[in-house]
Structure 1
């Protein structure tokens, strides 16, 4: 990547496809950062730029509710380990309404790129398999406003508890410090040019 040129979603997609795969034949890209920062938006735009070469897994689908406990282990065993051998992986999607995991598995093919987006998606234990760690952040007030607009004001108690949970995870894993790219998610509407943070 040329540091003199502005980074775009298309440019990032090209850079990822040019990088060597470390997860079998797949390039694992972890899009991490605090809730409401724009991770899902960025991952969606990046997946669109990558076309049929990308699979996307959302951490929201593998959390067991409002906890990070077990999510990394579930994805590692069900998705990442099979992909290292070039085999399809799978996971069970958590149903936030019923409070349990769905019985039918969601398949994940061994695509050229696997985007895993969500809080806690960049643990150190995945570093040997990870092609890029992307950190997205935005101001606290904006993030909370986005989250409550999406989830509803009745989720405020859960949201504020989650902020403490994710902060502890980020401190333990030094997630921001270990990121290969740090992106300003404030203007997540367009993503024409990605605002890089130092």
Structure 2
């Protein structure tokens, strides 16, 4: 599976204050998934979504916020990059919206092939952060308290970063994945709906304010 390997607005470059500001945006936004604030971190593969998500989780947890992180890589496969979505909705989003614990069975890759792995319980948090390609898809826009878009470098650079992480054998899969996500994002219009855009090293935009 493609896995981001570098931060978009690099965590070191952006500084702690950047994630303090985003954390404040999360906590002042209204909850829209029942009593839960749902935050999505989306963008092309190889952009650094996981790094950004981890930094945001740390920022929120440091404020004493009960936060849970679910990654779309726990669901997606090369052959089903976004079609798994009903499993996330039925297993996690719907129960949490009712104030009930969520549960899903994650995808694991023990021999380079996807298999059903461990069951993951998701207790009802104050903030649920969903990270990965298609996390901020149009179908849940009205449920999101905040949508974060992460995009680093050009497509060829992102490919090389991902190949470095996943291994040379993954290159054909990653090329097909990039072709798919380019079309997906163009059709879904994900970036245009983002509340926070992290684009390129050191360049951040929050609600139209660029630094």
User: TM-score per shorter chain, which class?
Assistant: 0.7 to 0.9
| Stretches of structure 1 lacking an aligned partner (at least 5 in a row) | 1-5, 188-192
Q: Which residue of 2 aligns with 1:25?
A: 35
Structure 1 residue 172 displacement after superposition: 1.7
Residue 70 of structure 1, CA deviation: 2.6
Given candidates 129, 140, 164, the residue that maps to 1:115 is 129
Select which of 184, 187, 193 maps to 1:178. Answer: 193
Query: Which of residues 21, 34, 42 is equivalent to 1:11?
Result: 21
- For the residue of structure 1 that corresponds to 2:80, the secondary structure is coil
Deviation at 1:91, TM superposition (A): 1.2
TM-score by length of 2: 0.82
Describe the superposition over 1:10-39 as per-residue Cα deviations: whole angstroms up to 9, x where unpaired.
221122112110001111111100001111
Check whether the contact 1:66–1:158 (CA below 8 A) recurs between aligned residues: no
Partner Cα distance (1:164, 1:92) in 2: 27
Q: Supply the RMSD in Å over aligned alpha carbons.
A: 1.9
State how far apart, in whole Å, the 2-side matches of 1:153 and 1:17 are. Answer: 41
Report the counterpart of residue 179 of structure 2 in structure 1.
164
**Shift in Å at residue 168 of structure 1?**
1.5
- Alignment of 1:148 with 2:163, yes or no, is yes
Q: 1:61 is matched with which residue?
A: 74
Distance in 2, matches of 1:194 and 1:22, equals 29
Unmatched tracts of structure 2, length 5 or more: 1-15
Q: Alpha carbons of 1:90 and 1:111: their partners in 2 closer, same or farther (altered >3 Å)?
A: same
- Check the 8 A contact 1:124/1:173 in 2, yes or no: yes
SS at match of 1:70: coil
CA positional deviation for 1:66: 4.4
In 2, are the aligned partners of 1:122 and 1:175 still within 8 Å (CA)? yes
| Contact persistence 1:65–1:96 (CA under 8 A) | no
Distance 1:81 1:7 in 2: 33
Find the residue that maps to 1:8 and give its secondary structure.
helix
Residues 141-192 of structure 1 show CA distances to partners (whole Å, capped at 9, x for unaligned) of: 32112101110111100000000111121112111112112112x43xxxxx
Say whether the 8 Å CA contact 2:43–2:133 is kept in structure 1.
yes
State the Cα distance separating 1:123 from its structure 2 match: 1.5
